[in-house]
Amino acid sequence: MRWSLALALLAGVAWAEDSSTSTSSSSSSESSDSTTSSSLALSDATTVTDASAAVPTGSYEVYSTTITLADGDHLTSTITQNSSATTTGNGTVVTTTHNSVTVLVGGAGTTTLGNSSMNATATTSSTSTAVATNTRPCNSYAEYCGRSYSNITMVAAHNSPFVRKGNAAANQEFTVKYQLDDGVRMLQFQVHNQNGTMELCHTSCSMLDVGTLEAYLTTVTEWIRNNPYDVVTLLMGNYDYVSPSHFVDPIKSSGLYDYVYTPTKIPMALDDWPTLSEMIITGKRAVIFMDYQANQTAYPWLMDEFSQIWETPFSPTSRAFPCTAQRPPGITNVQAKNRMYMANHNLNIELNLGSIDLLIPNSAVLNETNAVSGYGSLGKMARNCTAKWDRPPNFLLVDYYNDGNFNGSVFEVAAEMNNVTYNNQSCCGTASAAVPGMSTVTVSTMLLVAAGVQFFLSAF
């Protein structure tokens, strides 16, 4: 009995591998976008449906008016803050002084993005002095220097710290340093409170614990320090809904606080954000969001995600990837168009093995999920989102960013959204960082087999 169940699981995995091989050789043209995806049968008793995972329950901040900040961390006006529980390229770089802020400006000509346009050249200023051209200006593109933070599409690493070989709960193949080197500019992850220590765990610390928040942030801070022309965003999941005060010490002890950006308003509307050059010149190049329990009246720089960013459906298991606003619940189209947004494009398989209910990346179709075009692709979703909302997504949240229809395909999509040219020779990671001779698909499916066999054997 137990061996037949294990063999059934193996058969399901073999089907996934065969599917991956066959689909990778099929056409990825946009004409295939109408294809209907089928569920992945892991065994006779376990079938993955096309529903997204249950949305986390948490409190969403509601601001009745805007707070104006002065001197970085101090409030200049008071408001009523309500919290309601809901279940549901070539450019010459110059400096320009304007309003006492020196900015970098690079790139020639006018770039149109969605329904908005920006001029990336120097404009009227009190003083203008030519300086040496930077080799990596403003997140590696001179064109970004004159754009606002909210007018750029960034690749986001879903569960960035979780890079554990041999663990099914991992979501990335390369460590955070490689992620940043390759061009990832948003790092998303879960944080758990383990007896007062903020730990990076995926779902459960007994399943995958990759160390402390402070240690991870120390590595991020070192990268930021060594890359002075880059702005990095962190999105922290407050898994246990603890007070934001628990996050302050790790952020300060890691050195990250020295680079943290403090907004000028609470919350920041789409047009309130500074240009990347302003953030770079002032040295405030780390933007931190937290999903739940943020208290910006106490910690203005630890920003509440959902009053400033909305998300498409959470942890999707369907390849349809609709570009609808799911979190925060009840957001209107008018509100959505005045905030940044994140496209959740990390495709999952839902495993129901007895008492275990786990979402893991659907590695079998990564070459399609992270592709530039085709059904279920990141490129297709980004274009759909741009058409629907008249502007591209700000953040493209993906698993295994290095996999796709070619190395760096996710960055190609972001470059398209930003109307710049991506150099695909720069990606991804190093050969020594991966499991030798094994693809991500192979690793994940072997883990799936091991987990299933272990579970069924222990059940008898």
Name the residues annotated as catalytic: 158, 202
Encode the chain in three state secondary structure: CHHHHHHHHHHHHHHHHHHHHHHHCCCCCHHHHHCCCCCCEEECCEECCCCCCCCCCEEEEEECCCEEEECCCEECCCCCEEEEEECCCCCCCEEEEECCEEEEECCCCEEEECCEEEECCCCCCCCEEECCCCCCHHHHCHHHCCCEHHHCCEEEECCCCCCCCCCCCCCCCCCHHHHHHHCCCEEEEEEEEECCEEEEEECEEEEEEEEEHHHHHHHHHHHHHHCCCCCEEEEEEECCCCCCHHHHHHHHHCCHHHHECCCCEECCCHHHCCEHHHHHHHCCCEEEEECCCCCCCCCCCEEECCCCEEECCCCCCCCCCCCCCCECCCCCHHHHCCCEEEEECCCEEEEEECCEEEEEECHHHHHHHCCCCCCCCHHHHHHHHHHHHCCCCCEEEECCCCCCCCCCHHHHHHHHHHCCCCCHHHCCCCHHHCCCCCCHHHHHHHHHHHHHHHHHHHCC
Instruction: For CA atoms 55, 61, 64, 69, give the dihedral sign.
Output: negative
Q: Which residues contact 309 (CB under 8 A, 6 or more apart)?
A: 289, 339, 340, 341, 342, 394, 395
Alpha carbons 455 and 460: distance in angstroms, whole number: 9
